[in-house]
Amino acid sequence: MMTFHNRQEIKQYECLILIILLTIIPTGCSTSHTISYTNQLQSEYELIIDAFSWEMIPINCHEGDIVSGQFQVSSDGSLYPGDEQKYDDWTQEDIHFYIMNESNYFLFQEDQEFSAAYSRLDVSELQWSFRIPTEGRWYLIFYNDSIYMMKLTGSVSDSYDYIPILLMIGFLSILVILIGSTLYLKKWRQKAIA
């Protein structure tokens, strides 16, 4: 066992241990703190939405998932049978876009008052992103409240950020080593002084 002759040697030893730990630890844990992981959903879609109607896309999500996507209403004259002059009006119509949890989706289906977690009204194209607040089934709803059919094309993806468990274990190990070293050096200091 090492013996120290004065306080200066003890302080030098403490500094040496601290420098060694601070040098070793970051190299052993040099991974990215946040990793983006693509979950079950990454798809493109095309929807035809009748007049005064809606379409939905269900998504099973975890708390903290980031659901994002984009869509646009495209012009297609074949969607409006009849007077071609009225077709020009159709191209200027927009839709309502909602993201809601399952309980609000059921209210929406029953034409009752609902609360969407995310909504954009009267849009013809949109790029969006939303962090899911609670785990469960969530719904993307495209609502057409006009007298004309709508054609939507778009994409949606689901991802989430997480801190790898090994990184957390590494930090906890470092903390235990530092606390243990500090306690050991305090006892050692008391013995050396006495």
> For residue 152, what are the contacts with CB-CB under 8 A and spacing of at least 6?
45, 46, 47, 49, 55, 71, 72, 73, 74, 95, 142
Closest C-alpha among 96, 90, 94, 92 to residue 54 = 96
In the block, tokens 């013809």 appear at 124
| pTM assigned to the model | 0.59
The architecture that CATH gives domain 35-162 is Sandwich (2.60)
pLDDT tens for each residue of the chain, 194 residues long: 455 556 666 666 676 676 666 655 544 443 333 333 444 455 888 988 888 899 999 988 888 888 999 999 875 555 555 555 555 555 556 899 999 999 999 999 999 999 999 999 999 899 999 999 999 999 999 999 888 888 888 888 877 655 555 566 776 777 777 777 777 777 777 777 76
Domain boundaries of the chain, sorted by first residue: 7-32+164-193, 35-162
